[in-house]
């Protein structure tokens, strides 16, 4: 076995690790840049699986417990793959007052899964956010990174139905 140099390819042959290495080098492999590196890793891979955390721990010369601890502490990091589409419902106070709970119920009923889960077909992930800061437009949801304001249960379900339709249309 040869000792891996910084330019060596990851054994899996996955080129995405190159991107991650670049992000790590940008922070001079400093341990205190762990959160920044995890942000980069999630941006590249979509979610943080255990192997990836081990990789980050080795690169930053940190104990695995520390990396795992940080990754699980913060809500922003996902340990499971996300669906093709994400529906982030804001549950901030303004949205709560304006009836976000009704939207939550309607959407959960439509997707047949709870918030924090992904539909079995891997199409839609339901996520709840504490506040997305667009309180003037409450109730708000972020649909695939697009903020949608002044929703009601019907319009929210319609948007999800559009997502569920799309794959069939493509197939047809």
Helix axes 34-45, 64-73, angle to 10 degrees: 70
Choice from 130, 161, 162, 166 touching another protein (CB under 8 A): 130
Distance CA 36, CA 41 (A): 9
DSSP 93-116: HHHHHTTHHHHHHHHHHHHTS-TT
Report how many residues bind another protein under the rule CB under 8 A: 40
Of 32 and 168, the one with the shorter C-beta distance to another protein is 32
Q: Is 33 among the residues that bind another protein (CB under 8 A)?
A: yes
Q: Is 146 among the residues that bind another protein (CB under 8 A)?
A: yes
Choice from 69, 116, 122, 167 touching another protein (CB under 8 A): 69
Residue span binding another protein (CB under 8 A) among the ranges 14-22, 50-58, 126-134, 158-166 = 126-134
Distance in Å, CB of 24 to another protein, minimum: 13
Choice from 92, 111, 125, 156 touching another protein (CB under 8 A): 92
Q: Which residue in this structure is represented by tokens 């979610």? A: 47
Phi-psi region of 112 (alpha: psi -120 to 50; beta: other; left: phi over 0): left
Distance CA 166, CA 121 (A): 13
Q: Is 93 among the residues that bind another protein (CB under 8 A)?
A: yes
């Amino acid at each position: 076995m040869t000792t891996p140099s910084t330019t060596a390819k990851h054994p899996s042959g996955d080129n995405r690790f190159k991107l991650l290495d670049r992000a790590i080098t940008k922070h001079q492999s400093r341990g205190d840049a762990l959160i920044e590196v995890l942000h980069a890793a999630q941006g590249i891979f979509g979610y943080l699986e255990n192997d990836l955390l081990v990789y980050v721990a080795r690169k930053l010369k940190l104990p695995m417990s520390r990396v795992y601890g940080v990754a699980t502490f913060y809500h922003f990091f996902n340990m499971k793959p996300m669906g093709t589409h994400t529906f982030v419902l804001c549950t901030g106070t303004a949205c709560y007052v304006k009836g976000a709970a009704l939207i939550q119920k309607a959407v959960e009923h439509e997707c047949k899964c709870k918030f924090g889960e992904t539909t079995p077909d891997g199409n839609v992930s339901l996520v709840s956010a504490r506040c997305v800061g667009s309180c003037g437009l409450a109730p708000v949801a972020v649909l695939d990174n697009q903020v949608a304001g002044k929703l009601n249960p019907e319009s929210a379900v319609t948007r999800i139905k559009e997502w569920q339709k799309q794959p069939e249309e493509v197939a047809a």
